[in-house]
Amino acid sequence: MIPTRIERLLPYLFLLALLCIALAFRPLLPVDETRYLSVAWEMYLGGHVFVPTMNFAPYLQKPPLLFWLIDLVWNIFGVSRAAAMLVIFAASSLVIWLTTLLAKTLFPERPDIASRIPWLVAGSTVFVIYSTLILFDMLLTACVVAALLALLGFARTGNRWQAVLAGLFIGLGVLAKGPVVLIHIGAPVLLYPLWRDRRAGLAPLQFFAGAGLAILAALVPVAIWLAPATILTKGSFVYDLVWNQSAGRVTGSLHNSHGRPFYFYLMLLPLMFVP
């Protein structure tokens, strides 16, 4: 029988094995992985902090959190693809761990559910793909799940600091991939009257007030980055990131928004659940 502690580590070791296989047997995938590592390299090379660059011109398509983390790891371990993958490994591991915490919080009387979650996450097709790519998705997912955990704590206790904490995670989600984080957070917030605990949960108006506080708190980390970035780019960053990227992708008007008819996503949905 495998000891419990080792058994708990197995999903993370499986994730590490996936990353090692990716490093050993596939190159960086254009255009995304090559582009994002190029941006991180230029920021590292030029000592840029607030404004990412590509080909030494401002790169106004994505916020900088992933690039910051990659540059931090490069400063510690040296510049390499393997070092950059440590950021993705950390973010993917956080997704497994935070999702397990979410299961424990939602089903405190069902430890069997929480015990299955790490393998359900690590074994899902989408996770296996994205956890080996140098993209923003795992980082964004970790921020979203952390924010949901804090909002759930606020819904049960009414502690406003939980709402503030949720806001800080939402702000980090904006720094990870932009305002799209609000779509992921917005659905469970708006549906709160359907899932709230009527015996111990806050009334909907109280919860929505806390959600508003969370949004205000989210502005703090965003402003710390966006204010100097806006000054340095003369407002271009705000337009490109907030409007052109977010609104353009939602409406499909952005030239690389990957617009699809609605039935495309319905056909794709079953694949999300394939182990």
SS3 57: strand
Question: Which of 60-64, 171-175, 251-255 tops mean pLDDT?
Answer: 171-175
User: What per-residue confidence (pLDDT) applies to 117?
Assistant: 94
Tell me which of 93-102, 120-129, 254-263 is least confident. Answer: 254-263
> Half-sphere exposure (CA, 13 Å, Cβ side) for 150?
25
How far apart CA 219 and CA 64 sit, in angstroms, is 16
Question: In the structure, what pLDDT confidence band is assigned to residue 8 with cuts at 50, 70 and 90?
Answer: confident
How far apart CA 251 and CA 258 sit, in angstroms, is 10
* Average pLDDT value over all residues in the chain: 88
Does position 173 have pLDDT exceeding 60, yes or no? Answer: yes
- DSSP character for 246? I
Task: Return all residues near 61 (Cβ < 8 A) that are at least 6 apart.
Answer: 240, 241, 245
Does position 258 have pLDDT exceeding 70, yes or no? Answer: no
